[in-house]
């Protein structure tokens, strides 16, 4: 079965994962994949110097402090930078790892669901898991493990693929409970066709206290230079 990181209007847009690997980001990806690794995916590298990899803890290791993590985060704003991303085929993860290397010292966190996605879940079929979730406005997939303590961070980058014109529903789960208010929040996505503006508007509506700043759509083949240019735009605004 062919799967994609970008799903739109009941059909698959972009290139297949196999095609992505074939076209690839070449040796550039290989050189930087280890600079800001996520947790739990088979194609991830380790942590590079200056970056910390935050891994979701096992579900049975979550402690009683979790229930207060959102309010604690909202009451304190640190000066660190977090690159949090949701990625299933590796496209968004590649962009996130470029971003961590460019930012230098940023923490990377791979957002994952308690029930992992399998290949069939990512198809554009009407009865696939991602299709059902995206068509259900109330869908909130349960997230895996402990989430980052946002009280350390003053800047958060949130990355995701576009699935049927919007962010995956796991991002809705995160935004509703994370406590992002009071931080500089930037969104980025990977998509062959669909834009990011409507997806960010839906996320912003989940918690109106959060101010979403610049947002950027990257394509699957975008490179380190494309990410670096966007970061420069943010720094020079």
Consecutive 10-residue averages of pLDDT for the chain (237 residues): 38 32 35 40 33 48 43 70 97 97 95 96 93 96 96 97 97 97 97 94 96 94 94 89
What distance in Å separates the CA atoms of residue 160 and residue 168, rounded to the nearest whole number? 7
| DSSP code at position 142 | P
Beta-carbon contacts of residue 147 (< 8 Å; ≥ 6 apart): 56, 69, 109, 111, 174, 178
> So what's the pLDDT on residue 227?
97
Question: H-helix or E-strand containing 156?
Answer: strand 153-161
> So what's the pLDDT on residue 112?
97
Strand partners, 185: 156, 212
Strand partners, 217: 189
What distance in Å separates the CA atoms of residue 81 and residue 93, rounded to the nearest whole number? 17
CATH code of the region 80-236? 3.40.50.360
| Domain residue spans of the chain | 80-236
Going by C-alpha positions, the residue among 144, 138, 117 that lies closest to residue 129 is 117
Confidence (pTM): 0.73
> So what's the pLDDT on residue 221?
84
């Amino acid at each position: 079965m062919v799967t994609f990181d970008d799903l739109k209007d009941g059909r698959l847009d972009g290139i297949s994962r196999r095609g992505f690997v074939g076209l690839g980001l070449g040796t550039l990806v290989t050189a930087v994949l280890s600079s800001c690794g996520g947790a739990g995916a088979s194609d991830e590298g380790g942590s590079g110097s200056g970056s910390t990899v935050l891994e979701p803890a096992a579900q049975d290791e979550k402690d009683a402090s979790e229930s207060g993590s959102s309010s604690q985060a909202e009451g304190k704003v640190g000066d660190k930078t977090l690159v949090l991303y949701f990625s299933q085929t590796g496209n968004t993860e590649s962009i996130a790892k470029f971003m961590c290397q460019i930012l230098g010292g940023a923490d990377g966190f791979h957002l994952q669901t308690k029930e992992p996605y399998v290949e069939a879940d990512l198809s554009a079929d009407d009865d696939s898991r991602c299709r059902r979730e995206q068509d259900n406005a109330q869908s909130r997939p349960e997230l895996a493990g402990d989430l980052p303590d946002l009280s350390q961070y003053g800047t958060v980058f949130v990355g995701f693929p576009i699935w049927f014109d919007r962010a995956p529903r796991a991002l809705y789960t995160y935004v509703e409970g994370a406590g992002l208010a009071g931080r500089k929040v930037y969104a980025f996505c990977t998509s062959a066709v669909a834009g990011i503006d409507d997806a960010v508007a839906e996320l912003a509506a989940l918690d109106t206290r959060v101010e979403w700043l610049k947002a950027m759509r990257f394509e699957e083949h975008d490179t380190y230079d494309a990410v670096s240019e966007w970061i420069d735009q943010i720094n020079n605004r």
